[in-house]
Structure 1
Amino acid sequence: MEQYLAMWVRCLIGLVFLVSAVSKVSGRRSFAEFAEAVAVLAPVPGARRLLAPAVVALEFAVAVLLALPAPVAFRGGGGLATALLLAFALGVALAVRRGAETACRCFGRSTTQVKGWQAVRNLALAVPAALAATLGPGSQGAAAGLALAAVMGLTCGAVVIALDDIVDLFRPATAKAVDFRQEIPYARRDHSSRLRRGAVPAESRPDRRNHQTPARPGRNPQPERKF
Structure 2
Amino acid sequence: MMYVSLTCAVSLAAVFGHAGLGKARDRKGFEKSIRDLDWFPPGVVPTVARSVAAMELLVVLAFAASPVAGPKAAVVGFSGALTLLIGFTGVIVLALKRGVRARCNCFGTAGAEYSLRHVVRNSLLAGMAVTGVLTVGADHRAHISGMTLAILTGLIIAGLTVAMDDLLGLFRM
TM over 0.5: yes
The 5-angstrom pairing of residues 1-227 of structure 1 reads: 3-26=2-25, 30-41=26-37, 43-45=39-41, 47-68=44-65, 69=67, 70-139=70-139, 140-171=141-172, 173=173
Write the deviation string for residues 101-135 of structure 1: whole angstroms up to 9, x where unpaired. Answer: 22100011124111111011101100111222343
String of CA shifts for 1:56-97, please: whole Å, max 9, x gaps: 001001111112222111100100000101111111111112
Q: Identify if the C-alpha distance between structure 1 residues 85 and 47 changes in structure 2 by more than 3 Å, giving closer, same or farther.
A: farther
Q: Which amino acid is the alignment partner of residue 116 of structure 2?
A: G
Q: Is the 8 A contact 1:35 1:47 kept in 2?
A: no
SS at match of 1:132: helix
The AA in structure 2 aligned to 1:14 is A
Q: Check conservation: 1:18, 1:59, Cα contact below 8 A.
A: yes
Alignment partners' CA distance in 2, 1:66 and 1:41:
30
Please tell me whether the aligned partners of residues 78 and 129 of structure 2 are also in contact (alpha carbons under 8 angstroms): yes
1:20-68 CA-to-partner distances (Å, cap 9, x unmatched) read 1111122xxx211101212333713454122111110010011111122
Q: CA 1:42–1:15 in structure 2 vs 1: closer, same or farther (change >3 Å)?
A: farther
Q: Distance in 2 between the 1:42 and 1:158 partners?
A: 30
Q: Partner letter of residue 34 of structure 1?
A: F
Partner amino acid, structure 2, of 1:133: V
Superposition misfits of 4+ residues, deviation over 4 angstroms: none
The letter for the 2-side match of 1:59 is E
Bigger Rg, which one: 1
Q: Which runs of 5+ in 2 are unaligned?
A: none
Q: Label 1:42 to 1:6 Cα distance change in 2 as closer, same or farther (>3 A).
A: farther
* TM-score, normalization by structure 1: 0.69
CA distance in 2, matches of 1:129, 1:40: 29
Q: CA RMSD in A?
A: 1.7
Length, aligned pairs only: 168
One-letter code aligned to 1:58: M
Q: 1:116 to 1:42 in 2, by over 3 A?
A: farther
**Distance in 2 between residues matched to 1:88 and 1:73, nearest whole Å:** 22
Ranked by relative contact order (alpha carbons within 8 Å, sequence separation 6 or more), the top structure is: 2
Cα distance in 1 for partners of 2:32, 2:115 equals 17
Q: Which amino acid aligns with 2:74?
A: F
User: For the residues of structure 1 that align with 2:144 and 2:111, how far apart are their CA atoms?
Assistant: 41
Q: Could you tell me how far apart the structure 2 residues matched to 1:36 and 1:124 are?
A: 26
**Which is richer in helix?**
2
Amino-acid identity (%): 28
